[in-house]
Protein backbone atom coordinates (compact mmCIF):
# COMPACT_ATOMS: atom_id res chain seq x y z
CA UNK A 1 0.00 0.00 0.00
CA UNK A 2 1.38 3.41 -0.99
CA UNK A 3 2.13 5.88 1.78
CA UNK A 4 -0.29 8.83 1.36
CA UNK A 5 -0.25 12.39 2.63
CA UNK A 6 -2.97 15.02 2.80
CA UNK A 7 -2.78 18.76 2.22
CA UNK A 8 -5.36 21.52 2.01
CA UNK A 9 -5.64 23.29 -1.34
CA UNK A 10 -7.18 26.74 -1.05
CA UNK A 11 -7.67 26.78 -4.82
CA UNK A 12 -9.65 23.54 -4.76
CA UNK A 13 -11.31 24.39 -1.44
CA UNK A 14 -10.71 20.91 -0.05
CA UNK A 15 -8.14 18.49 1.32
CA UNK A 16 -6.18 16.64 -1.35
CA UNK A 17 -4.75 13.13 -0.96
CA UNK A 18 -1.36 12.59 -2.61
CA UNK A 19 1.51 10.12 -2.57
CA UNK A 20 3.96 11.06 0.15
CA UNK A 21 6.81 10.92 -2.39
CA UNK A 22 5.83 12.35 -5.78
CA UNK A 23 8.39 12.59 -8.57
CA UNK A 24 8.42 16.09 -10.00
CA UNK A 25 10.40 16.38 -13.23
CA UNK A 26 10.91 20.14 -12.81
CA UNK A 27 11.93 22.23 -9.81
CA UNK A 28 11.04 25.68 -8.54
CA UNK A 29 12.97 28.21 -10.59
CA UNK A 30 13.17 26.11 -13.75
CA UNK A 31 12.03 27.56 -17.06
CA UNK A 32 9.59 25.38 -18.99
CA UNK A 33 7.35 25.59 -22.04
CA UNK A 34 4.01 24.00 -22.81
CA UNK A 35 4.21 20.99 -25.08
CA UNK A 36 1.14 22.04 -27.15
CA UNK A 37 0.32 25.70 -26.53
CA UNK A 38 2.65 28.59 -27.30
CA UNK A 39 3.71 29.77 -23.85
CA UNK A 40 6.59 29.37 -21.45
CA UNK A 41 7.12 30.17 -17.80
CA UNK A 42 9.08 29.74 -14.61
CA UNK A 43 7.94 27.23 -11.97
CA UNK A 44 7.05 28.91 -8.66
CA UNK A 45 5.10 26.13 -6.94
CA UNK A 46 4.41 22.42 -7.41
CA UNK A 47 1.43 20.31 -6.36
CA UNK A 48 2.24 16.57 -6.11
CA UNK A 49 -1.14 15.81 -7.77
CA UNK A 50 -3.97 17.90 -9.24
CA UNK A 51 -5.10 20.42 -6.60
CA UNK A 52 -7.32 22.87 -8.44
CA UNK A 53 -11.11 23.08 -8.60
CA UNK A 54 -13.31 20.47 -10.24
CA UNK A 55 -14.77 23.24 -12.42
CA UNK A 56 -11.30 24.10 -13.74
CA UNK A 57 -10.59 20.44 -14.50
CA UNK A 58 -13.95 19.79 -16.17
CA UNK A 59 -13.45 22.84 -18.43
CA UNK A 60 -10.58 21.00 -20.17
CA UNK A 61 -11.87 19.02 -23.18
CA UNK A 62 -12.03 15.33 -22.24
CA UNK A 63 -9.84 14.30 -25.19
CA UNK A 64 -6.89 16.30 -23.84
CA UNK A 65 -7.66 16.32 -20.10
CA UNK A 66 -4.54 15.22 -18.16
CA UNK A 67 -4.58 12.58 -15.44
CA UNK A 68 -4.89 14.01 -11.94
CA UNK A 69 -2.29 11.70 -10.40
CA UNK A 70 0.81 13.54 -11.60
CA UNK A 71 2.58 16.72 -10.48
CA UNK A 72 0.97 20.02 -11.51
CA UNK A 73 3.03 23.18 -11.77
CA UNK A 74 2.19 26.81 -11.01
CA UNK A 75 3.96 29.00 -13.56
CA UNK A 76 4.63 32.68 -14.03
CA UNK A 77 3.83 32.36 -17.72
CA UNK A 78 4.18 34.48 -20.83
CA UNK A 79 3.23 34.29 -24.48
CA UNK A 80 3.53 36.82 -27.30
CA UNK A 81 0.59 38.85 -25.95
CA UNK A 82 0.57 38.77 -22.15
CA UNK A 83 1.87 37.56 -18.80
CA UNK A 84 -0.27 35.44 -16.49
CA UNK A 85 -0.25 32.58 -13.98
CA UNK A 86 -0.73 29.10 -15.45
CA UNK A 87 -1.45 25.70 -13.87
CA UNK A 88 -0.07 22.88 -16.00
CA UNK A 89 0.30 19.10 -15.70
CA UNK A 90 3.75 17.56 -15.83
CA UNK A 91 2.92 15.65 -19.04
CA UNK A 92 2.41 18.95 -20.86
CA UNK A 93 5.73 20.60 -19.97
CA UNK A 94 9.19 20.54 -21.50
CA UNK A 95 12.37 22.15 -20.22
CA UNK A 96 13.14 25.49 -21.90
CA UNK A 97 16.11 27.03 -20.07
CA UNK A 98 18.11 27.33 -23.30
CA UNK A 99 15.73 30.08 -24.47
CA UNK A 100 16.72 32.37 -21.59
CA UNK A 101 14.80 34.18 -18.87
CA UNK A 102 11.03 34.69 -18.65
CA UNK A 103 9.74 38.24 -19.06
CA UNK A 104 6.96 38.15 -16.43
CA UNK A 105 6.48 41.21 -14.16
CA UNK A 106 6.25 39.07 -10.98
CA UNK A 107 9.54 37.22 -11.51
CA UNK A 108 11.58 39.77 -9.44
CA UNK A 109 9.15 39.36 -6.51
CA UNK A 110 9.97 35.65 -6.19
CA UNK A 111 13.34 35.10 -7.81
CA UNK A 112 16.84 36.49 -8.04
CA UNK A 113 18.61 36.74 -11.38
CA UNK A 114 18.48 34.05 -14.05
CA UNK A 115 21.80 32.16 -14.04
CA UNK A 116 22.96 28.76 -15.28
CA UNK A 117 19.60 28.14 -16.94
CA UNK A 118 17.36 28.74 -13.93
CA UNK A 119 16.15 31.21 -11.35
CA UNK A 120 17.12 31.07 -7.70
CA UNK A 121 14.29 31.63 -5.22
CA UNK A 122 14.75 34.89 -3.30
CA UNK A 123 16.30 34.56 0.12
CA UNK A 124 13.61 34.48 2.79
CA UNK A 125 11.08 32.70 0.57
CA UNK A 126 12.52 29.22 1.11
CA UNK A 127 11.52 26.91 3.95
Q: Is residue 126, in this structure, part of any structural domain at all?
A: no
Q: What is the domain range of residue 99?
A: 22-121
Q: Is residue 65, in this structure, part of any structural domain at all?
A: yes
Q: How many domains is the chain partitioned into structurally?
A: 1
Element (H, E) at 55: helix 54-58
- Residues in Cβ contact with 17 at an 8 Å cutoff, skipping those fewer than 6 apart: 4, 5, 6, 49
Express each pLDDT in 82-125 by its tens digit: 999 999 999 999 999 999 999 999 999 999 989 999 999 998 76
CATH of the domain at 60: 2.30.30.390
Whole-model pTM: value is: 0.84
Q: Is residue 100, in this structure, part of any structural domain at all?
A: yes
Can you tell me the mean pLDDT for 30-34?
97
Average pLDDT, the chain: 88
Residue 6 has pLDDT above 70, yes or no: no
Express each pLDDT in 61-78 by its tens digit: 998 899 998 999 999 999
Residue 11 has pLDDT above 70, yes or no: no
Amino acid sequence: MMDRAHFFSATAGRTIEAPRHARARFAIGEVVRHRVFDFRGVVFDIDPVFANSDEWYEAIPAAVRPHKDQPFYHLLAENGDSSYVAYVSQQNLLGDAENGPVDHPQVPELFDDFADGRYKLRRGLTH
